[in-house]
């Protein structure tokens, strides 16, 4: 069975006049990312692969999560195409995942992650910062078989 954790990056820092893609996490965001990782560890929901947008706040979220879960940071895959990605862009990332991966984390941005979760499950979940939804695909053994409404929400969580 394949399972996907769709994660929205943690809270970013708006205090500096930076281009959107360069905004880092703020103090609260760093805490949120660690807390989210601790929740995932308690659920024993550990990644085989992490794919993240190349935006600074998203790569920082991915790095903090990976560190907490003892996932090799150098194995985080960053993708330019996931910055402000559409559901179709996110689906392409899923389809390009090797089949030996059973648990995939995708860390990206809104509104893409909200729309992507809905596309896969038909269930609306609001993705505020540091939110995640675990989507399972009970009948799927190959990532390329993931399509609209083939997943089921198993778990949702958000760090305040």
Instruction: Write down all domains in the chain, each with its CATH number in brackets.
Output: 2-11+20-158 (3.40.50.1240)
Q: Within 13 Å of residue 95, how many CA atoms lie on the same side as its CB? A: 12
pLDDT digits (tens, 9 = 90+) for 7-49: 999 999 998 899 999 999 999 999 999 999 999 999 999 999 9
pTM, 2 dp: 0.97
Work out the burial of residue 1: count CB atoms within 10 Å of its CB; fewer than 13 is exposed, 13-18 middle, 19 or more buried. exposed
d(CA 61, CA 40): 14
């Amino acid at each position: 069975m394949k399972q996907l954790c769709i994660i929205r990056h943690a809270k970013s820092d708006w205090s500096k006049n930076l281009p959107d893609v360069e905004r880092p996490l703020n103090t609260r965001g760093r805490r949120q990312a660690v807390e989210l990782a601790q929740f995932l560890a308690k659920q024993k929901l550990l990644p085989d692969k992490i794919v993240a947008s190349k935006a600074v706040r998203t790569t920082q979220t991915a790095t903090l999560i990976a560190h907490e879960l003892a996932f090799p940071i150098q194995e985080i895959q960053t993708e330019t195409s996931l910055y402000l990605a559409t559901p179709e862009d996110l689906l392409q990332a899923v389809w390009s995942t090797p089949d030996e991966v059973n648990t995939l984390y995708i860390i990206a941005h809104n509104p893409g992650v909200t729309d992507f979760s809905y596309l896969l499950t038909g269930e609306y979940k609001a993705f505020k910062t540091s939110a995640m939804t675990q989507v399972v695909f009970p009948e799927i053994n190959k990532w390329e078989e993931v399509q609209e409404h083939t997943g089921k929400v198993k778990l949702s969580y958000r760090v305040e």
